[in-house]
Amino acid sequence: MTSVAYDRTIQLGGEGRAPGWWAMVWTIATEAALFGFLLFSFFYLGSQSRSAWPPDGPLKLTLSLPNTILLILSSIAYMWGERGIRAGNQERLRLGLFIAFILGLAFIIIQGIEWSKQPFGAGDGAFGSLFYTITGFHGAHVIIGLCMNVLVQIWAARGTFTRESHLALTNAGMYWHFVDIVWLFVFSSLYISPRLG
């Protein structure tokens, strides 16, 4: 349309996030909303309940509290490994990812034991249904996070990641930290909040 010749060069900024990073951010946003609605259901039915909530008194912290700490440590290990690759340290990356994986795996195994020890089943009233659904949703997210971790470990072993280029690592890490942080909300709601009432 315009006849003026374009006579300047384009300056590239180079800063700023890749599209893939934003994709993970908005995936996490929608997942966070999902947990928000799950916890809304928990508090809504709790507030409407005419019997004890939970029915057998507050849930035990014997396993769940140490398990929570395991998951936080797993996030820290991942972060430590990721800091390693930012300094170009491949060994530290692999070690950090491996520790994060083992701690995450331990969390899911202990979560299985926690399920088997509950005095109620998923069909025993609204509290049971919500407990297994919410922790089940979270457990599924942990398993997806662990699958991502395995993939990232394979790629790390093959030397895919460099100091400058490691978006897959950052994204899997963001997801893993999200799974960790959302557990703190789930744990506070299901285990702690009934003790405050």
Partner 1 sequence: MATLAPIATAPLERLHDTWEARPGLYGILATVDHKTIGKRYLVTSLIFLVLGGIEALIMRAQLTHANAHLLSPGAYDQLFTMHGITMIFWYASPVLSGFSNYIWPLMLGSRDMAYPRVNALSYWTFLASGIFIYTALCIGQAPNAGWFAYAPMTLRPFDPGLNMDFYALGLIFLTVSTTIGAINFIGTVMKMRAPGMSLNRLPIFVYGTMTASFAAVFSLPALTVATTYLYFERHFHMHFFDAAQGGSPLLWQHLFWMFGHPWVYIIVLPAMGMVSEMVPTFCRRPLVAYPYVAMSTIATGIIGFGVWVHHMFATGLPGVSMSFFSGASIIIAIPSAIAVFAWIATMWLGTPVWKTPMMFVAGFVVRFVIGGVSGVVTAAVPFDWQVTDTYFVVAHIHYVLIGINVFPVVAAFYYWMPKMTGRMMSETLGKWNFWTMFIGFNLGFFPMHISGLLGMPRRVYTYPASAGWGSVNLITTIGSAVFAVGVLLFVINIFVSLRRGAFAGSNPWHAGTLEWAMESPPPPYNFAVIPIIRSRLPLWEDQLGDETPGMIPGEGHSHVSEGVVLAEGRETFGTSPLEAHPLHVLHMPEDSMFPFLLAVAMLGTAYGLVFSLWWLAILGGIGMLACLIGWLWPRHLVTGERA
State the nearest-atom distance from the C-beta of 65 to partner 1, in Å: 26
- The residues near 8 (Cβ < 8 Å, ≥ 6 apart) are none
State the nearest-atom distance from the C-beta of 195 to partner 1, in Å: 19
Provide the binding-site residues for partner 1, judged by CB under 8 A.
1-2, 4-16, 18-20, 22-23, 26-27, 29-31, 33-34, 36-38, 40-41, 44-45, 48-49, 51, 122-123, 125-130, 132-133, 147, 151, 155, 158, 160, 168
Buried b (16+ CB within 10 A) or exposed e, 153-181: bebbeeeebeeeebebbbbbbbbbbbbbe
The three-class DSSP label of residue 71 is helix
Nearer to partner 1, 10 or 196 (CB): 10
Nearer to partner 1, 67 or 183 (CB): 183
Nearer to partner 1, 4 or 87 (CB): 4
State the nearest-atom distance from the C-beta of 62 to partner 1, in Å: 25
Q: Tell me the residue length of the chain.
A: 197
Nearer to partner 1, 38 or 100 (CB): 38
Residue 65 and residue 63: Cα distance in Å, rounded? 6
Taking a C-beta distance cutoff of 8 angstroms, is the pair 141, 174 a contact?
no
